[in-house]
Structure 1
Amino acid sequence: MTEPLQRALDRIRPDVRVAHAYIVQPSTGLLKLDAMENPYRLPPELQQALGERLGAVALNRYPAERTAELARALARHAGVGDAVGVTLGNGSDELIGLLTLAVARPGAKVLAPLPGFVMYEALARQQRLDFVGVPLRASDFQLDEAAMLAAIREHQPALVYLAYPNNPTGTLWDAAVIERIAQAAPGLVVMDEAYQPFASADSLALMARQPNVLVMRTMSKFGLAGVRIGYLLGAAELVEQVEKLRPPYNISVLNAEAALFALEHAGVYAAQAAELRRQRERLLAALQAMPGIAPWPSQGNMILARVQDAAATFAALKARGVLIKNVSAMHPLLANCLRITVGTPEENTLLLQALQACLN
């Protein structure tokens, strides 16, 4: 290493230099069931219509009013009134970063149940905030209410994340417990509803009752993972503070137009979500019938399952052309656990055949 390069590296924060980047698994040539994507593409006639519409977008101009139109369209899609604030992120990840930045004062802490979405902790630490993880109940991956309330009393977190349903467990937590946590929290409570299209409940009524509660959603599970649109709903006075930190052109004109087009054809995506919910129940029943595997019920478009040897099963599936996610190293409660994305009927059949062969 040259001396100038070493000097430049020495200016990078030590905690950044020892951190690890988020790893995306290579998937070329594999049946991709690792990232909770909607496996369905638009019908050909809508693909053509979208292409023509994107071709007419003024790429020579910065994003402007169209982004604001998308924000309000998403609020209407969620079923909330114009009094509710809304802001957009380049995916939910950017919104998590903006929320963390908004509370990043000396001594501020971020709290979330574990196991959970890894970006809550990663982005808190990027802002040099302490992260407090509270383990879920081992038996059913429900919130440990006593432990959560004790951690809130002790740490007084500026920001609490509650994924609803949770990733990677697919769990919908007890609504009464969530409300008591929201009431006890001294700061923001963010209900991360990334998997809302597949769930039987949401947090909008809680948001209306508890002014410190914000609801975060994404269009990724809606069916636009490649478009990268996240949105945050809540009291206008709170959302306005996050909006101040949002880069002015964080949503491209192409992404905004693609999202608006999708909302105009929301029925297509709703039908896809309904089929994925049916396939989730089919997949769960098949996994429950297999010896050597213990799946948990899910309200997302994924199923968490424990096997005897997660690393060996993951490798065996990959050798058979099926890519899932080995989450067993994420947290002790996930020992020997795999997370399986719900696919199309044909994809699920191939997965089950490969998994049966691996387990045998």
Structure 2
Amino acid sequence: MLSRQRFETDRRQRTEPVPGQGNRIARWVPSRILELSPYHADSADGLLKLDAMENPYTWPSEIKDQWLQIISTVPLNRYPDPQGTALRQDLKTWCGLDLAADLMLGNGSDELIQIIAMTLGGRGQVIMAPEPSFSMYSMIASVTGTRFLGVPRDTEFRIDLQACLDGIAEHQPCCVFLARPNNPTGSLCSNETVHAIIDAAPGLVVVDEAYHAFCGHTFLDRITDHDNLVVMRTFSKLGLAALRLGFLAGPKNWLDQFNKVRLPYNVNTLTQVSVRFALEHMEWFQGCAEQICNHREQLSIALLGLPDVQVYPSDGNFLLMRMPRGRGTEIFQCLRQSGILVKNLDGSHEALADCLRVSVSSTDDNQAFVAALRNSLETVDLRESS
């Protein structure tokens, strides 16, 4: 039994501040968290929103009315199906998934990335991805105490396969993320590149197909060919961003491990019911995707006609542009002042200096953006010459 003196000494050690450690936050929040910045999304109030790769079209009224009738029957006093059984089965049918594979649902792709990192990562482990790419790979790796290895792409944002293979051989990553098409560059790596990385990787390879609808290429039909491959999808870019649904498809033995980490009831009933309904009307969503692809080509041609603007090829629903040297952020601010919000990537990665990313939208929105960008370029030129 502890003496009263020993008890009081232990109590003081637990409650009194430690010299030099500052306040409680500095003492208890790990340095890897203190060093991070929260994810920042610009406010789009009163602006034409072209920064988040959203579907610019809303459901026709007849489809929306049917949906409202269906969700009105959802018992809000009951917890969701923790496995999303019916939705998973519908998704497996829609994807044509092999019987040997399975699906796991997530609250958007972000949660799935977090689950993977929590399961495989931690101190002494490495998560790898070609860079620049989706910022959540490195951010979530940092949060889980996992070292992130970014392998630079070439000057045209193509994957440097040899550099990736060298990184795999040297660092033995527990997981490799491959965004296909890549965000924010829009580039699509070849099947051969993906296969080479899968074959070389000692751990898991995650092919992130968030923008699959705009390129048509998939590795879903290759899942059973490899024992270390999973494919990740989201419905956000297709037109259901408000519902936050992603899914991970892969061998059941991998998903069994991830399900140990996944929180119960992570996908709410309204989302499950709504996505099942959306799958019955997928031809409308696919029609939107086809229209966006057509608009992407038209917008690219229009942007290429502007002076000193470099436009990169894209297989997503967005375009990456490089502004005149040293003017990226200034042009972003000019666009915002003219009522248009795009994504400012200047300063986010050394390879993205002066780069802006714009979502492909409707014809009217795209034309408004081109006109505003032309005016912004002229404004910046005038400032520079005055």
Instruction: Please indicate the TM-score interval, normalised by the length of the shorter structure.
Output: over 0.9
Moved more, 49-58 or 144-153: 49-58
Cα pair distance change 1:354/1:36, threshold 3 Å: same
Contact 1:200 1:299 in 2 (8 A): no
Q: Do 1:92 and 1:217's aligned partners in 2 also have CA atoms closer than 8 Å?
A: yes
Cα displacement (A) at 1:81: 2.7
Q: Which runs of 5+ in 2 are unaligned?
A: 1-15, 379-386
Find the counterpart in structure 1 of residue 148 from structure 2.
131
Q: Which of 338, 345, 353 is matched with 1:327 structurally?
A: 345
What are the superposed Cα offsets for residues 117-169 of structure 1, whole Å, 9 maximum, x if unpaired?
1110111111101110000011x211101110000000000000000000000
In 2, the alpha carbon distance for the partners of 1:28 and 1:13 equals 35
Question: 1:215, 1:234 within 8 Å by CA — same for their partners in 2?
Answer: yes
- Is the Cα contact below 8 Å between 2:98 and 2:224 reproduced in 1? no
Q: Do structure 1's residue 144 and structure 2's residue 160 form an aligned pair?
A: yes
> Who is 1:168 aligned against?
184
- Give the counterpart of 1:230 among 246, 253, 277: 246
Return the offset for 1:66: 7.7
* Partner AA of 2:176 in structure 1: V
Q: Structure 1 counterpart of 2:297, which letter? A: E
* Structure label with greater radius of gyration: 2
**What TM-score comes out, normalization by structure 1 length?**
0.96
**Bigger Cα displacement from structure 2, 78-87 vs 277-286:** 78-87
Does the Cα contact within 8 Å between 2:97 and 2:221 map onto a contact in 1?
Answer: no
Label 1:70 to 1:197 Cα distance change in 2 as closer, same or farther (>3 A).
same
Residue of structure 2 in register with 1:182 after alignment = 198
Write out aligned runs for 1:142-291 (5 A): 142-291=158-307
Give the 3-state SS of the residue equivalent to 1:29 in structure 2.
coil
The structure-2 alpha-carbon separation of the partners of 1:8 and 1:330, relative to structure 1 and needing over 3 Å to count, comes to closer
Deviations 1:266-289 (A, max 9, x none): 111011111111111111111112
Partner of 2:99: 82
Shift of 1:65: 7.0
C-alpha deviation, 1:9, in angstroms: 5.7
Amino acid aligned to 1:58: P
Give SS of 1:86's match: strand
Which residue pairs with 2:9 in the alignment?
none
Shift of 1:47: 1.4
Shift of 1:8: 5.6
Correspondence for 2:364 among 336, 346, 349: 346
Q: CA deviation at 1:346?
A: 1.2
Amino acid at match of 1:324: V
- Offset from partner CA, 1:271-326 (integer Å, 9 cap, x none): 11111111111111111122111101100001001111111111111111010011
Contact 2:121–2:127 under 8 Å retained in 1: no
Specify the alignment match of 2:374 in structure 1.
356
The one-letter amino acid paired with 2:215 is: A
Structure 1 gaps, min length 5: none
Q: Report the alpha carbon displacement of residue 12 of structure 1 after superposing the two structures with TM.
A: 2.0
Q: Which residue of 2 aligns with 1:101?
A: 118
Q: Deviations over 1:70-106 (max 9, x none)?
A: 1221222222133211100000000000000111254
RMSD over aligned Cα, in angstroms? 1.6
Checking the alignment, whether the CA contact within 8 Å between 1:109 and 1:131 is kept in structure 2 is: yes
Contact 1:190 1:213 (8 Å CA) reproduced:
yes
**1:318 aligned to 2:365?**
no
1:200-256 Cα distance to aligned partner (Å, 9 max, x none):
311224333222110000010111001000000011111221122111200011111
Q: Secondary structure at the match of 2:157?
A: coil
Query: Alignment length, in residue pairs?
Result: 357
Q: Give the match's secondary structure for 1:225.
A: helix
Aligned to 2:5: none
| 1:16 alignment partner, one of 11, 24, 33 | 33
Contact 2:101 2:224 in 1 (8 A): no
Give the secondary-structure state (helix, strand or coil) at the position aligned to 1:110: strand
The whole-number CA distance in structure 1 between the counterparts of 2:82 and 2:98 is 20
User: Are the counterparts in 1 of residues 32 and 145 from structure 2 also a CA contact under 8 Å?
Assistant: no
AA partner of residue 270 (structure 1): Q
Compute the displacement of 1:336 (Å). Answer: 0.9
SS in 2 for 1:226: helix
2:65 matched to which residue of 1?
A: 48
- Tell me the amino acid that sits aligned with residue 191 of structure 2: A
CA distance in 1, matches of 2:261, 2:26: 28
The more displaced of 56-65 and 219-228 is: 56-65
CA distance in 2 between counterparts of 1:310 and 1:208 reads 44
Given that 1:311 and 1:336 are in contact with CA atoms closer than 8 Å, whether structure 2 keeps it comes out as yes
Q: Is the 8 A contact 2:117 2:141 kept in 1?
A: yes
